[in-house]
Structure 1
Amino acid sequence: MKPWKLLTILLMAGALVACVSGPRRVSEPTASIQQLSVGADGTWSVDLRLQNYSSIPMRFESVRFAVSVGGESAGTLETTTPLTIGPESADILTLTLAPSAEGRLHAADALASGRSLAYRIDGSIRAAPEDRGSARDYSVRRDGAVGPVPGLPGVMR
Structure 2
Amino acid sequence: MASCALLLVACASGPARRVSEPSARIQQLTVRADGNWSTDLRIENFSSITMRFDALRLELEVEDHPAGTLQASPGVTVGPESADVVTVELAPTAAAKFAVARALADGRSIEYSLQGTMTATPNESRQREFEMERRSALSPAPGLPGVMR
TM-score scaled to structure 2, two decimals? Answer: 0.91
Question: In the alignment, what sits opposite 1:4?
Answer: none
Shift of 1:31: 0.8
String of CA shifts for 1:112-138, please: whole Å, max 9, x gaps. 000001101010101121222x11111
1:21, distance to aligned residue in structure 2 (A) = 2.9
Among 122, 127, 135, which residue is 1:135 paired with?
127
- Decide which structure has greater helix share: 1
Distance 1:103 1:151 in 2: 23
* Structure 2: gaps of 5 or more residues: none
Figure out how many residues of one structure are paired with residues of the other and give that number: 144
Is the aligned partner of 1:31 residue 2:24? yes
Indicate yes or no: 2:136 matched with 1:144. yes
Flag structure 1 segments of 5+ consecutive residues without an equivalent: 1-6
Structure showing greater Rg: 1
Whether 1:123 and 2:137 are equivalent positions in the alignment is no
Deviation at 1:81, TM superposition (A): 2.4
1:47 alignment counterpart? 40
Q: Distance in 1 between matches of 2:24 and 2:13?
A: 28
TM-score when normalising by structure 1: 0.86
Q: Name the counterpart of 2:99.
A: 106
Report deviation, 1:92: 0.5
**Aligned equivalents of 1:18, 1:118: Cα separation in 2:** 48
Structure 1 ranges of 4+ moved more than 4 A: none
Identity %: 48
Q: Matches of 2:46 and 2:13 in 1, distance apart?
A: 18
